[in-house]
Structure 1
Amino acid sequence: MDLRGRSDPESIVIGNANRAIYEALMDHAAWPFRTAVLTGPDRSGKSLIGKWASGQGVAVIDDAEREDETDLFHRWNAAQESGEPLLLISNRQPWDISLPDLRSRLGGSLQLEIGTPDDDMVAQLIESMAAQRGLSLSEGATAYLVPRIERSFSGIERLVEVIDRLSLERKTPATMSVWRDALDQIQGPEQQRLL
């Protein structure tokens, strides 16, 4: 999988918010107890990262907080015995773990968290999400949108969806009038005027 590609729906934009995670995932021999726990905000690509990691020989359990704790404990033990690295993906960390042995073992594992994207990564995400939709953004789109957009993966995705919808509804290219109206729909005209 091309991690830097921008037209493939399976591509992942690498930036400040997740670069250290990829570096850690590529060096799983250094993980304490051969286990890492990955958390991050909604729509930040945790499952896609897990898919990539599984292709690198890592056993992956997505939505680990929903798994039976005894099963997770057995999977942790199996990773120790086999030497196979284990990546647990969760929406939150720490999650409420009642099994004390599991709680202590996961607490001693490598903790990885996807952060907040900076301006450069926001611009790359806008371009990548637009390309995945086949949406052509006019020149200057990221320069206009980046300072005005919410700094969250779900917020960026929502904005690109609205731009795409408005452009299709109006049967017009995605130019500044569409960008502005999309921002108004997402965050309101009052907040946009403050930026």
Structure 2
Amino acid sequence: MSQIALPLVTATSAETIVSGPSLAPVIGALQAAQDWPFRTAILFGPPRSGKSLLARWFAQSGAGDALDDADSLADEAVFHRWNAAQASGRPLLLVSGRAPGAWPIALPDLKSRLGAALPIEIAAPDDELLRSLIEAHAARRGLALGEGALGWVLPRIERSHAAAEALVETIDRLSLERKASVTISLVKDALAERVHGHADSNWQPRLL
């Protein structure tokens, strides 16, 4: 499992970013903030894909400032931060749940400036990253997922960060409810429940 260590967030804990080939371009872009046009970039991607975590890593690394949930803020507030970034020369990372083109901006000056910002998209996880995400979520819950269970579920699970997290949550719950270890049968039921809303050990998902 490949991880990038983040700076300490509290005196007793640290956070990590689970990485893989599909995330490498994002990490590379964040590490090259001085090359961003007008020192501004917009980080966007699907739910639960680590946007806020990446933004905290970026800010704590000293590479620049980050503004989370920027697409939910008033245009004037974002424009103020953009102007401050230009005046200070510090890169500004704007985090959005929507792609730049889908982000409604009424203020013409802000729209033109953000149109020149570097878009950084978090893509769907590749196989390596998906495996690492499942392993990381399982480790946080103290779950032991064997190679058999991982090998069975990887070609069948939806390719998304949120799906990996939700599946492990369901596996954990079923394991506790049944007082059973994680087996392929239990993982099958967990995946069936995520897809159909109920466990069915006879369900056979279609390979993606």
TM superposition score category, shorter chain reference: over 0.9
1:91 to 88, 94, 97: 97
AA partner of residue 59 (structure 1): D
Alignment of 1:144-183 (within 5 A): 144-183=152-191
Distance 1:22 1:71 in 2: 27
Distance 2:5 2:148 in 1: 21
Distance 1:48 1:183 in 2: 27
Q: Is the counterpart of residue 3 in structure 1 residue 4 in structure 2?
A: yes
Shift of 1:140: 1.9
Who is 1:26 aligned against?
31
Distance 1:84 1:191 in 2: 54
- Larger RCO: 1 or 2 (CA < 8 Å, sep 6+): 1
Q: Is the counterpart of residue 72 in structure 1 residue 85 in structure 2?
A: no
Which 4+ stretches in 1 moved above 2 angstroms? 188-195
If each structure's strand is expressed as a fraction of its own residues, which one has the higher value?
A: 2
Unmatched segments (≥5 aa) in structure 2: 7-12
Q: Is the counterpart of residue 186 in structure 1 residue 194 in structure 2?
A: yes
Unmatched segments (≥5 aa) in structure 1: none
TM-superposition CA deviations, 1:91-128 (whole Å, max 9, x none): 00220000011011011011001001111111111101
Distance 1:17 1:69 in 2: 31
Asked whether the 8 Å contact 1:183–1:192 carries over to 2, the reply is: no
Report the number of matched residues.
Answer: 192
AA partner of residue 134 (structure 2): I
Alignment of 1:110-149 (within 5 A): 110-149=118-157
Distance 2:87 2:205 in 1: 59
Instruction: Give the CA RMSD over aligned residues.
Output: 1.8
Who is 2:9 aligned against?
none
Percentage of pairs with the same residue: 51
